[in-house]
Amino acid sequence: MASPRVRRGSVALLALAVLYVIAAQVGRGRLPDRIWMGAHYVENVQLLPTWRSLAEEGAFLLESGILLGSALVSTRRVALGLFLGSVAGIILGLLTGWGARAESLADPWVTLFRFTPALALLPLYVVWFGYGEASKVLLIATNVAVITLFGAHHGVRGVPRVYLDAAASLGASRWLRFRRIVLPAAFPSIFTSIRIAAGLAWVTIVVAELIDARMPSLGYLLALSGAYPRVPTMLIGIATVGGLVLVFDLLALLLHARATRWMGRAE
């Protein structure tokens, strides 16, 4: 959390920048024209659509198959990216949390990806894999892998050392200690990271689809509704994304519950 002095300084700098832009526009004689254009734009755009217009637009999007098709495309990308990223991240997290050598080898790369915004990799992935499914799915997988890696890593490192030492003194092998003590103890942290990653996966794909709006998807639908503009379509698209995020979160909770019961029976 920034200190009050830093916040006041930021507000002052922002105000100074706004005043500079206004002064520059007034000096060039452009501000009155731009104010008029903005007012004309707002006047001709339905900023708050009625319930009837929302219902009509929703019915059209459903009957035409546009909404369902767009949702399926985005959902497929998120599901595949979430699966690939979770598998890779959990395996790497367990390895780095359990083995000191694996941690020393992976730490520089993990740190690099941790502080690199996932969306900054989109141009590179487009160059490597082209436009289409591969670049977007791998972008999601990268973002998810970093999150689940840290979840699994900290879950393993959070196991009290006294439990491992006690099991070792009773003759438990390294693999048995990992399977019977470390893995069950790391489960809550792993599934918490999966829930977080599922939400961020949707953020990633929507922004990626907004940037690269080349085929029907929810991001493409939002970009199209903002370009024309069509506020009812935009609101329906946003609500659809929010609903799908909730569905993925509930699925993650269900998976957590089933995995917990399975681990209990295995014990």
Domain ranges of the chain: 1-32, 51-266
pTM higher than 0.75? no
**pLDDT band at residue 201, thresholds of 50, 70 and 90?**
very high
Binned at pLDDT 50, 70 and 90, residue 197 comes out as: very high
**Phi, psi angle pair for 53, to nearest 5°:** -65, -35
d(CA 131, CA 167): 52
Q: Which one of 2.40.30.10, 3.40.50.150, 1.10.3720.10, 1.10.10.410 gives the CATH number of domain 51-266?
A: 1.10.3720.10
Task: Assess whether pLDDT exceeds 50 at residue 214.
Answer: yes
Handedness of CA 218, 220, 226, 229 (dihedral sign): negative
Has residue 128 got a pLDDT over 50? yes
Phi, psi of 166, rounded to the nearest 5 degrees: -65, -40
Cα→Cα distances 217→64, 66, 205, 223, Å: 14, 9, 10, 10
Q: CA distances (Å), 49 to each of 54, 66, 109, 221, 240, in order?
A: 7, 20, 48, 17, 17
What lies within 8 Å, CB to CB, of 49 at 6+ separation is 57, 231, 232, 235
Q: Count of residues for the chain?
A: 267
Distance (Å, whole) CA 53 – CA 59: 10
- Taking the C-alpha atoms of residue 94 and residue 102, their distance in angstroms, rounded to an integer, is 10
Contact 190, 147 (CB under 8 A): no
End-to-end Cα distance, the chain: 43
Give the chain's count of helices (H) and strands (E).
Answer: 12, 0
Query: How confident is the model at residue 13, as a pLDDT?
Result: 42
pLDDT interval class at 208 (50, 70, 90): confident
Amino acid at 230: R
In this prediction, residues 214-218 reach a mean pLDDT of 78
pLDDT band at 84 (very low <50, low <70, confident <90, very high): very high
CB 219 within 8 Å of CB 208: yes
